[in-house]
Structure 1
Amino acid sequence: MKASTSTELTAVQTPNNSHPATMGRLRSGLFGLVGALGLIAGQAFAEQTEYPLTIENNGVTLQFDGPPERAISLNGHTTELMLSLGLADRMVGTAYLNHPLLEHLEDDYADIPQLSGGTSYPSLEVVLGTDADFTYGRDSAYRDTAVATPERLLEMGINAYAVEGTLVTNATMDHVYQDIRNLGRIFDIQPRAEALIDEIETEIAAVQDAVADVDNTVRVFVYDMGESTAYTTGRALQTHLIELAGGYNVFGDLEETWQMVNWEEVVDRNPDVIVINDYGQTSAESKIRFLLENPALSDVAAIKNEHFVVLPLPAAFEGVRNPSAVRTLAEGFYPEAF
């Protein structure tokens, strides 16, 4: 069985344009140099923040009179991004980490209070109890059924910043870079932000160079979950990551970012490769076995050739794992190029 795997594991998101696992290892040294190199690499592009700073996000105007001192990260991938930017000393809480943290960030993470378990957001009362002045999370965090709306948090004196890629369809790495630059401005750490972007861009460019001369673009189907129907990615960041890896998402034309599709549609679109999103209680091996034993899929090229690529779900969400996602996908699509 041709199943490409990685050492990274699981992560989250739901409703409408969200991944259900979130509702309710880049290589360990890749970003370790960000703090050391930041003052040099980003110097030409970064300027010191002039406060008050105003940022429009998620339909709300956020105003900062100075860098936040008591920040909360509301998702695993946002926690990894903040830690990669060297913001551990500004953080008073984390939440919704339902996957192993990147190893080189574990020491910093251990010193920050965990405000909720790995399958839920903290309540508004818990957030208020930290005296927080800033939160950073997916759009799913900012609902009455989760933490609170951005407007409600603003009334409480908390600037609530949502991951840009979760607010739009057809998210790309540009949205990830926008988040990093905004965090750089908000916390007045622009050199670090630019250095991190440079690291990410360099890693992705190296993969793209490796697959630049492939003869035939592979057709890809993302299997996230489902038995009677399949839950797959449409106009979400994962489709862009597939494209960066030299592939073509056969369901990239869906109206939603995540959507259920019938098995007949999968057969009609006949993917060459099936990407298995790895997270939660159902193992990637179990998902692959289910697909291989599904008689409706017996004529699909990816099933005939047993061509699967296993992708830890956190790598598909906006953050520092995106370069590893592109590499994992590309190495699985075109192993001969590596």
Structure 2
Amino acid sequence: MTHSRPAAAMAAALALLLTLSGCGAEVSSSSAARDDGRSTAVTLENCGRKVTFAKRPERVVTNDVGITEIMFALGLEDRMAGFVMPDDKGDVSGIPWKSGYDKAKWLSRNEITKELVLDARADMVFAGWNYGFSEDKGLTPDTLRGLGIESYVLTESCRNGRGKARGIMPPLEALYTDLTNLGKLFGVEDRAARLITDFRAQVADVRAKAPKGADRPTVFLYDSGQDKPFTSGRFAAPHDIITLAGGDHVLGDLDDSWTAVGWESVVERDPDVIVVNDYGDTTAEQKKAFLLSYPPLAQVSAVKHRRIFTLDYADLVESPRNPAAIAALAAYLRTVPPRG
């Protein structure tokens, strides 16, 4: 998924520390020379493929806001050559890792390119399929490996074997897997574990208050598009954000991450609530106005009752903002009366 603007932040208050459970990542490392990790080989499983790093990367280039903030949340800005993201990254004053933006270099407001990566003297690129990696642009893990540059692929964006469809695991598990993998790679396992346990606790607290059974509102995620809506299936972050907040995701049976569908699918499933992804040249208010005025949607429950809730782009892609987004949506869903 290529987006033009990461949007405003949502504060993520960290919860009590619990005991970390496993996150599904397979990690092995040699036992030699663990003083600074520079000579320690680490093998990770990333998107179903074993990837071995001969040493800890020291000049990482990241692409897009969610990916960049994963590094910041792990305290790894000193391992970054810089980040690529469009001009407006939004208000970051409320996020716990906001200092990363002051310390890391903003390399470009345009798309990441092979030339930019080479100019930055990167030794690793952290991006995703359609989040920077693209055969059309000639920027892939294979092409970078040929240049002596390692890659880590965002797990939300992993291709799943059905053409270019993406997603291989539940979205929050994708986030926890990436935190675990990167924690091992950079020697910050304890910080990764604390983040994950905090996030799990925050989500567990939300789930305890969420509606149950038939009281759960049905929810559709609207990203963009008028002829066809661009939306998310069960492998993109909105699926877990919706379901863990207490809603039923109307496209939760779609085995993909971000993709387009027909409006007839939305009308047929008649969601109680529409969540708008706030980013890009079209504002959230403009998207809402379109939805409320588009004739085919006139009888959809969310439109009839004007139940349209906005979340920011950085909340809705894989990022450390996901748990706070779950809490925010949950508070809104608890105000939706059951049908009947």
Residue 160 of structure 1: SS of its match in structure 2?
A: strand
Distance in 1 between the 2:336 and 2:302 partners?
Answer: 17
Distance in 2 between the 1:258 and 1:48 partners?
Answer: 31
Structure 1 letter corresponding to 2:242: I
- After superposition, residues 261-300 of structure 1 pair within 5 angstroms as 261-300=261-300
Once the two structures are TM-superposed, the CA of residue 205 in structure 1 deviates from its matched residue by 1.1
Once the two structures are TM-superposed, the CA of residue 242 in structure 1 deviates from its matched residue by 0.9
Once the two structures are TM-superposed, the CA of residue 278 in structure 1 deviates from its matched residue by 0.9
Greater alpha carbon shift after TM alignment, 271-280 vs 292-301: 292-301
Distance in 2 between the 1:26 and 1:310 partners?
Answer: 12
- After superposition, residues 108-119 of structure 1 pair within 5 angstroms as 108-117=100-109, 119=110
Structure 1 letter corresponding to 2:78: D
Q: Which residue of 1 aligns with 2:144?
A: 153
- Are 1:319 and 2:309 counterparts? no
Q: Which residue of 2 aligns with 1:134?
A: 124
Q: Which residue of 2 aligns with 1:301?
A: 301
Q: Which residue of 2 aligns with 1:164?
A: 155
**8 Å Cα contact 2:222/2:275 also seen in 1:** yes
Distance in 1 between the 2:260 and 2:121 partners?
Answer: 40
- Are 1:241 and 2:241 counterparts? yes
Once the two structures are TM-superposed, the CA of residue 101 in structure 1 deviates from its matched residue by 5.7
Distance in 2 between the 1:147 and 1:108 partners?
Answer: 29
Normalized per residue, the structure richer in helix is: 1
Distance in 1 between the 2:329 and 2:129 partners?
Answer: 26
Residue 115 of structure 1: SS of its match in structure 2?
A: strand
**8 Å Cα contact 1:80/1:101 also seen in 2:** no
**8 Å Cα contact 2:217/2:336 also seen in 1:** no
Distance in 1 between the 2:10 and 2:28 partners?
Answer: 29
Specify whether residues 245 and 41 from structure 1 end up closer, same or farther in structure 2 by C-alpha distance, changes over 3 A only.
Answer: closer
CA offsets, 1:70-125, max 9 Å, x none?
Answer: 112122111111111111111111112452263243433223222221x411x212
- Are 1:99 and 2:89 counterparts? yes
Residue 136 of structure 1: SS of its match in structure 2?
A: strand
Residue 331 of structure 2: SS of its match in structure 1?
A: helix
Structure 2 letter corresponding to 1:187: F
CA offsets, 1:274-323, max 9 Å, x none?
Answer: 11111112111111111111222221111111111111121111110001
Specify whether residues 207 and 147 from structure 1 end up closer, same or farther in structure 2 by C-alpha distance, changes over 3 A only.
Answer: farther
Instruction: Give the TM-score, by structure 1 length.
Output: 0.82
Once the two structures are TM-superposed, the CA of residue 260 in structure 1 deviates from its matched residue by 2.7
**8 Å Cα contact 1:242/1:249 also seen in 2:** yes
Structure number with higher relative contact order (C-alpha < 8 Å, ≥ 6 residues apart): 1
Instruction: Give the TM-score, by structure 2 length.
Output: 0.81
Q: Which residue of 1 aligns with 2:14?
A: 30
CA offsets, 1:116-152, max 9 Å, x none?
Answer: 21x411x212212222212211222222444621122
Greater alpha carbon shift after TM alignment, 305-314 vs 259-268: 259-268
Gaps of at least 5 residues in structure 2 are 31-39, 159-165
Distance in 1 between the 2:69 and 2:279 partners?
Answer: 17
Gaps of at least 5 residues in structure 1 are 1-12, 15-19
Once the two structures are TM-superposed, the CA of residue 193 in structure 1 deviates from its matched residue by 0.6
Q: Which residue of 2 aligns with 1:175?
A: 174
**8 Å Cα contact 1:276/1:284 also seen in 2:** yes
Structure 1 letter corresponding to 2:101: Y
Distance in 2 between the 1:116 and 1:146 partners?
Answer: 16
Residue 78 of structure 2: SS of its match in structure 1?
A: helix
**8 Å Cα contact 1:58/1:161 also seen in 2:** no
**8 Å Cα contact 2:60/2:123 also seen in 1:** yes
Residue 335 of structure 1: SS of its match in structure 2?
A: coil
Greater alpha carbon shift after TM alignment, 174-183 vs 88-97: 88-97
- Give % identity: 33
